[in-house]
Amino acid sequence: MAQPQNPIAVDPVVQTDNPTLEQLNSFFENDRFASEAARCRIVEGRRGFSVVEMEVGEVHLNAQGHVMGGAIFTLADYALAVASVTGRGPCVNASSSIQFLSSPKSPKLIATGRVVREGNRLSFYEVEVVDGDGRPVAKMEVTAYSIK
């Protein structure tokens, strides 16, 4: 008897290198921590590239009134997810390192994810986070593992 096909494997986001924004949002709608709790929003995504953003609110601030590192990491990790899954299929963050460069000066954060090297199972990405004025906030390097 034939096994049912994994619904992710036939999703348009996985099947094409350049899905529409509507297809991306539909695919990632169940990533509730990033999209609902952290309020991250996909701006653009294609195979090996993504732009996601976050409007900083009270929920993102630490006790000192600065944007919490975990909020910045979540935004960067979401950018990784969009860049790494699009056109490839299920992928997870196997290892990451983030450097916090400065505190944001504007209420918008923008993360841009780019593939450095795409392999069969392991791929390498860089994610840059800037504030709405273009000031560097963080840089993340990621090794992603493709689940086949």
The one-letter amino acid at 27? F
Distance in angstroms (rounded) separating the CA atoms of residues 21 and 137 = 25
Distance in angstroms (rounded) separating the CA atoms of residues 33 and 25 = 14
CB 72 within 8 A of CB 129: yes
Query: What local confidence, expressed as pLDDT, does residue 121 receive?
Result: 94
- Alpha helix positions (H), the chain: 12-15, 21-27, 32, 69-85
Task: For the chain, list residues with pLDDT below 50.
Answer: 3-6
pTM of the model as a whole: 0.90
Q: What CATH homologous superfamily does 18-146 map to? A: Hotdog Thioesterase (3.10.129.10)
Q: Give residue-wise pLDDT tens across range 114-130.
A: 999 999 999 999 999 99
Query: What local confidence, expressed as pLDDT, does residue 1 receive?
Result: 52
The rounded radius of gyration (Å) of the Cα atoms in the chain is 15
* Residue 146 backbone phi and psi in degrees, to 5: -85, 125
CB 27 within 8 A of CB 90: no
Query: What local confidence, expressed as pLDDT, does residue 111 receive?
Result: 99
CB 110 within 8 A of CB 44: no
Query: What local confidence, expressed as pLDDT, does residue 10 receive?
Result: 59
Q: Which residues contact 41 (CB under 8 A, 6 or more apart)?
A: 35, 52, 53, 54
What is the domain partition of the chain in residue ranges? 18-146
Query: What local confidence, expressed as pLDDT, does residue 15 receive?
Result: 79
